[in-house]
Amino acid sequence: MKKLLSSPVQMSLSTAENQVYQNALKYFTPLSLNLMAVKVSQRPDDFLGWCGELIRLCREDLNMELLDEEQFLPLKKLQETLDVGFSISQFKMARIAPWPIFVDFIEQQNKIHALDERLRLLSYVDEIRQQPLADLIEEDRLAFAGKHTINHDYSIYNFDVEWFAATKGAKVFHTLLVKCPEKFDSALAHIPLTGEVNHDDYQNFVNDFQKIFKEYTQDKAQGEKAPLAAATRLLAMRRPDQFIALNNNKIDILCQGLSIAKFKNTDFSSYWHDMIGTLRTFPWWHHAKPDANAQIAKESDATDTSEMTNKEVSNELAIWSNRAVLIDLFLFADAELAQNSNFIRLRDKIRNKAMTKSKATPKKRSKESAEVLVDRALTSDDIPEYLLGKRDSIIIQVKNGKSVEQAIGLMRAIFG
């Protein structure tokens, strides 16, 4: 263990990595006897591997029963420090990775970072992004803006709408989004849906976005500054190939990982010039859009591999179309991250309630919301013809609080 703990001294560390190591050293001392009791079999010679191995040892091999009460805080701090170090080292790789390496890395994160679920969210947003926020039902508007509610029917929203950057804590932002969604539409209209997004496009968005908050607070004793994090969520859903979605917790680690100066959650200038400017220097970000037809023709000589090739090409296109926002997958993730998805927790909660025949009063939906959700579900290929004729009955059930899945299941049981 002593050799493992001191091995970064022999590594070529970046300034940020060296700072992480110096911080970790502070927490080794109160845990030294406990750490020395852990058997070490792997001694990575790179900082990323070193952080990963120590994270594993602390979580899996350290004997928690031997820790004194005052040692739990330094252990927690050590784990948090190692998590940061792990992320920084992965971003170090992201800064130089060519497109094939970037794609392979993103795909390898599928299980731990819930890539498939994230891509389902991005695909869903892609279907609604051309519609004004003011015209969307509440569930869709919140899916775009990054706030999960109980009304996000898991059979329709089969993803966590809060992936990339949750905005549920931005109360003023959501108050204004309800009060004047058309003003946010006007701001987003400055960002083109295709092609290059330049500084003028971005600055025009920022001016309109900040104006919304300024007008809202002009008669109040304390002004409410426009939150950068909420703005980046809107920008990243508008153009996930161009913008990174932020929250307060991610700003520091992303700045360290990208080797840029840390900025505040109101610094729109540094976000564009430093963070997005740095992103645009990465080789994989400049990669041309994959040519699906050319790639299939090149790789699918045998007919029995054509289906797999089509799937791979489709995945690569999805990654390319969302390449900026997918930088999140370079952040450290523990084994619980994917299972903590709001989609999974809501799905399991409702299923468990159904099994126990809960008497809780269901939350009713608006007629408009119920109609939209039911119509989407009825477009599925596995919906039999007779259910299409039961649309109005299904809508009534959903409006009264049943999930779309439950309402359709009930119709199947009665008429199937």
Structure-block tokens of residue 136? 């969307």
pLDDT band at 302 (very low <50, low <70, confident <90, very high): very low
- Check: CB of residue 280 under 8 Å from CB of residue 243: no
CA 117 – CA 109 distance, rounded (Å): 12
State the pLDDT at residue 347: 87
3 state SS for 22-50: HHHHHHHHHHHHHHHCCCCCCCCCCHHHH
Report which of residues 305 and 378 the model is more confident about: 378
Rg over alpha carbons for the chain, rounded to the nearest Å, is 24
Condensed to tens digits (0 to 9), the pLDDT of residues 111-170 reads 999 999 999 999 999 999 999 999 999 999 999 999 999 999 998 999 999 999 999 999
State the pLDDT at residue 307: 54
Condensed to tens digits (0 to 9), the pLDDT of residues 47-60 reads 999 999 999 999 99
Average pLDDT over all residues of the chain = 88
Residue 299 has pLDDT above 90, yes or no: no
Q: What number is the average pLDDT over the span 225-234?
A: 96
CB atoms under 10 Å from CB of 209, counted, come to 25
Report which of residues 365 and 156 the model is more confident about: 156
State the pLDDT at residue 360: 47
CA 164 – CA 162 distance, rounded (Å): 6
Q: What number is the average pLDDT over the span 334-343?
A: 91
- Check: CB of residue 182 under 8 Å from CB of residue 132: yes
Condensed to tens digits (0 to 9), the pLDDT of residues 61-84 reads 999 998 999 999 999 999 999 999
DSSP line for 231-291: HHHHHHHH-TTT-----HHHHHHHHHHTT-----TT-HHHIIIIIIHHHTTSTGGGPPPP-
> In the chain, how long is the greatest CA-to-CA distance?
71
Rounded to two decimals, the pTM is 0.84
3-state secondary structure of 308: helix
CA 36 – CA 66 distance, rounded (Å): 12
CA 132 – CA 141 distance, rounded (Å): 9
Condensed to tens digits (0 to 9), the pLDDT of residues 187-213 reads 999 999 999 999 999 999 999 999 999
What residue type is 277 in one-letter code?
Answer: G
Q: How far apart are the first and last CA of the chain?
A: 64
3-state secondary structure of 382: coil
State the pLDDT at residue 110: 93
State the pLDDT at residue 379: 77
